[in-house]
Structure 1
Amino acid sequence: MDAVRHYFPELSIIQHEMLDQLTPLYADWNSKINVISRKDMEHFRERHVLHSLAIFKTIRFPEGSRILDIGTGGGFPGVPLAIANPTCSFVLLDSVGKKLKVIDGVAESLGLSNIETIHDRVENHRGSYNYIVSRAVTNLPNFMRLIHHLIAKKNQKFSSIYYLKGGDFNDELSTVELKSRTYELSEIFKESFFETKKILRLRH
């Protein structure tokens, strides 16, 4: 059985069909605008779709939640999470406009209406969100510095950050004032790619 179907039997047939379509859609777009390396494209389902959906294993965003994906690149983890959480709205932010063009094209092909793309740097972006997700766009102290205005306590909507990261980041974590919890992806997925991969949850 396909790994995505194996680990996420709770998703509907339509959701799985949309996740299936990501591979040919990204292969087509990637031939025009390079957003994923050739090596990673060969392992697309595992390294991009399954990796993104790891967050869905740790939280089911409440209906109506507004989620910001920072440094989304080609749309990860935002696009797979938007498919898995159709009652939530996702804002996918990146400073490289051509990457967002790919996301817009993929979302249009799939009929994904709960995705909005924004071309901006996170330090300049203003908005109110329940959750922030990201896939290790920079080191953790720098990431926290860039998003401090989005998670200020005066923003009462904010709940948590879910940060996909690999390796040992205890030294980085020691500088962060928020409460943290680490999820080992090797305990969720058996594939060797996930042996050193983690999700870091941060909240006030």
Structure 2
Amino acid sequence: RHIMHSLCLGGIMPHRPGLLVLDVGTGGGFPGIPLAIAFPNIHFTLVDSIGKKIKVVQAIVDALGLTNVTALHARAESVQGPFDVVVTRAVASAATLRSWVRHGWSKNPNAAIYALKGGDLHEELSGIKAKLFPISDVLSGEFYETKYVVRIPAK
């Protein structure tokens, strides 16, 4: 379930070779690892503030032989960038995410956050220029009925 959920981002986010993607709050490697497998020509930096989680992620990356992934034990707001795309899954509100990554964007005019979110997002996204993509359009099942990919422009 988490793998398919993560891969939904790949159908919406840009996937041009050479893009730099930051996965904020990767936890066990979601959504970054499934995306890195699907898009080997994109570099993914997976960041989490909990060292034990990053050690597990690094072990998975090593076991899979992924050369397009960097696992980083850090807080999102300390990552310098540059990055073209930020991905995340159930980490923080849209406003908080924007504040954490505001200093690291590349010069890419299409830079954006692609967040996997669920539930009623009206209040959270109030005043933010965001576009919602219902996951239920591509995946069936009760779990996906209230899940979205939310695209939030960098600027």
TM exceeds 0.5? yes
Deviations 1:72-113 (A, max 9, x none): 111000000000000010000100011011111111111111
Corresponding position of 2:122 = 170
- Equivalent position SS for 2:102: helix
Q: 1:79 aligns with which of 29, 33, 42?
A: 33
What value does the CA root-mean-square deviation take over the aligned residues? 1.4
- TM-score with structure 1 setting the length: 0.71
| Residue of structure 2 equivalent to 1:110 | 64
2:100 aligned partner: 146
State the one-letter code of the partner of 2:88.
S
What does 1:85-100 align with in structure 2 at a 5 Å threshold? 85-100=39-54
1:190 aligned residue: 140
Q: Which residue of 1 aligns with 2:6?
A: 52
Post-superposition Cα deviations, 1:2-36, rounded to whole Å, max 9, x if no partner, equal: xxxxxxxxxxxxxxxxxxxxxxxxxxxxxxxxxxx
Q: Distance in 2 between matches of 1:150 and 1:172?
A: 23
Q: Which structure has more strand as a fraction of its residues?
A: 2
Instruction: Determine if contact 2:13/2:114 at 8 Å carries over to the other structure.
Output: no
Q: Secondary structure at the match of 1:149?
A: coil
Select the residue among 103, 116, 128 that pairs with 2:82: 128
- For 1:64, the equivalent position in structure 2 comes to 18
Q: How many percent identity over aligned positions? A: 39
**Which one-letter code corresponds to 2:114 in the other structure?**
Y
Q: Considering fraction of residues, name the structure with more helix.
A: 1
**What is the CA distance between 1:57 and its match in structure 2?**
1.9
Mark the structure with the bigger radius of gyration: 1
The alignment status of 1:156 with 2:107, answered yes or no, reads yes
TM-score by length of 2: 0.92
Show the 5 A alignment for 1:23-42.
none
Structure 1 residues without counterparts, runs of 5 or longer: 1-45
Give the counterpart letter for 1:195 in structure 2: E
Runs ≥4 residues deviating over 6 A: none
User: In structure 1, what is the Cα distance between the partners aligned to 2:13 and 2:103?
Assistant: 24
Per-residue CA shift, 1:110-165, capped at 9, x if unaligned? Answer: 111111011111122211001110012012222222222224xxx41361110000
- What is the CA–CA distance in structure 2 between the aligned matches of 1:120 and 1:132, rounded to whole Å? 15
Residue 128 of structure 1 contacts residue 157 of structure 1 at CA under 8 Å; is this kept in 2? no
Contact 1:134/1:164 (CA < 8 Å) preserved in 2? Answer: yes
Structure 2: where are the runs of 5+ without partners? none
Instruction: Figure out how many residues of one structure are paired with residues of the other and give that number.
Output: 153
Give, in angstroms, the shift of residue 60 of structure 1. 4.4
Which one is further off, 75-84 or 107-116? Answer: 107-116
How far apart in 2 are the matches of 1:60 and 1:202?
A: 13
